[in-house]
Homo-oligomer: A and B are copies of this chain.
């Protein structure tokens, strides 16, 4: 009842639904905004879920890039939204196709992208497409949901300007009016910590906080404290990210060499500039990767078959290989087994 309380106990006590001020300030500094504009979420999965619940009614249309992250599909489906998949390529969601669909009458409430090193395709949405997407959002009055957990895992090239910044700089009043951006500590620190963050136009941010209170009151105080300490130590983070990028680049290169060495021109695969995934497509022989999965799992190797990323046809001969967790020699062993499993099907 009286005001007070020990600061050291805060990591175990109830805190504000928006997130601990300490963490929000650290995030604001990293993102170049004020801490008050950042909402802490229980992982970016919660960000997707809260935005879905705030913006979508049953039957509302959500456009996703095909192939897409299963977790966002689950959140959209929990709201009984109608999910429309539009093909992407190595530069991300095909905005031309989206524009055609909009011209033909499609009226999405939300267009969802993983803007950098997407899961599973590894694609990064190009600057031109970003600008075009923001223009379409204004013209057709939809919200862009930009989930970007992998952007800091870039070892080559530079990140395109963020969708939120494009929206802000192109608006008459300099305020982002159509982009919700999600970030996450899962891929740069540890997924078990369950700390993500969200930026959004103020009205959406308010709805999200009200709903978050009903959803879990707040994100783990202890996790927030840990993430604030790590992200707040700029020198440590720089060194940590440099190590992560270098490690992932090396493993990516090992995996890519092994895949090309083992499968040759039976597969198409793009060389990534960052992220955690290779998106491998069997071209000529059109191997069914669900069947390949069943065979390779018997040899102790797992991957995610293309069909897991949306039910549209054309994914059944693709597979997502992750290079983030295994060492070089393990990656080579895994691909050798994968090739052995695929041999009778090639």
C-beta contact mask, A282-325 vs B, less than 8 Å → 1, else 0?
00000000000000000011110000000000000000011001
Q: A49-B214, A217-B43 are in contact. Are A322 and B13 (CB under 8 A)?
A: no
* Chain B neighbourhood of A60, CB < 8 A: none
Question: Are A214 and B74 interface neighbours, CB within 8 A?
Answer: yes
CA distance A216 to B216 in the complex (A): 10
CA distance A13 to B42 in the complex (A): 15
Out of B3, B193, B300, which one reaches A2, CB within 8 Å? B300
Question: Are B2 and A333 interface neighbours, CB within 8 A?
Answer: yes
* Chain B neighbourhood of A302, CB < 8 A: 1-3
A215 to chain B, nearest CB (A): 5
CA distance A53 to B46 in the complex (A): 15
**Can you tell how many copies of this chain the complex includes?**
2
A71 to chain B, nearest CB (A): 7
Out of B1, B191, B215, which one reaches A303, CB within 8 Å? B1
* Chain B neighbourhood of A74, CB < 8 A: 210, 213-214
Most buried by B among A42, A45, A213, A333: A42
* Chain B neighbourhood of A331, CB < 8 A: 1
**Which residues of chain A in 181-238 are interfacial with respect to chain B, using CB atoms and an 8 Å cutoff?**
190-194, 210-211, 213-223, 226
Q: Give chain A's interface secondary structure class.
A: helix
Query: Which of chain B's residues has its CB closest to A77's CB?
Result: B214
**Which residues of chain A in 1-46 are interfacial with respect to chain B, using CB atoms and an 8 Å cutoff?**
1-3, 5, 10-15, 42-43, 45-46
* Chain B neighbourhood of A213, CB < 8 A: 71, 74
Interface presence of A244 (CB below 8 A): no
Interface presence of A334 (CB below 8 A): yes
Q: A42-B42, A303-B1 are in contact. Are A194 and B216 (CB under 8 A)?
A: yes
* Chain B neighbourhood of A42, CB < 8 A: 42, 194, 216, 220
Chain A interface bracket (under 10, 10 to 19, 20 to 34, 35 or more): 35 or more
Question: Are A1 and B78 interface neighbours, CB within 8 A?
Answer: no
Out of B45, B193, B214, which one reaches A222, CB within 8 Å? B193
A218 to chain B, nearest CB (A): 7
Question: Are A215 and B46 interface neighbours, CB within 8 A?
Answer: yes
CA distance A219 to B194 in the complex (A): 7
Query: Which of chain B's residues has its CB closest to A297's CB?
Result: B3
Out of B43, B194, B216, which one reaches A49, CB within 8 Å? B216
Interface presence of A330 (CB below 8 A): yes
Query: Which of chain B's residues has its CB closest to A255's CB?
Result: B1
A225 to chain B, nearest CB (A): 9
* Chain B neighbourhood of A56, CB < 8 A: none
* Chain B neighbourhood of A132, CB < 8 A: none
Question: Are A13 and B215 interface neighbours, CB within 8 A?
Answer: no
Interface presence of A75 (CB below 8 A): yes
A123 to chain B, nearest CB (A): 21
Interface presence of A326 (CB below 8 A): yes
Report the 4 A-B pairs with minimum CB-CB distance, sorted nearest first.
Answer: A192-B221, A74-B214, A12-B190, A12-B192
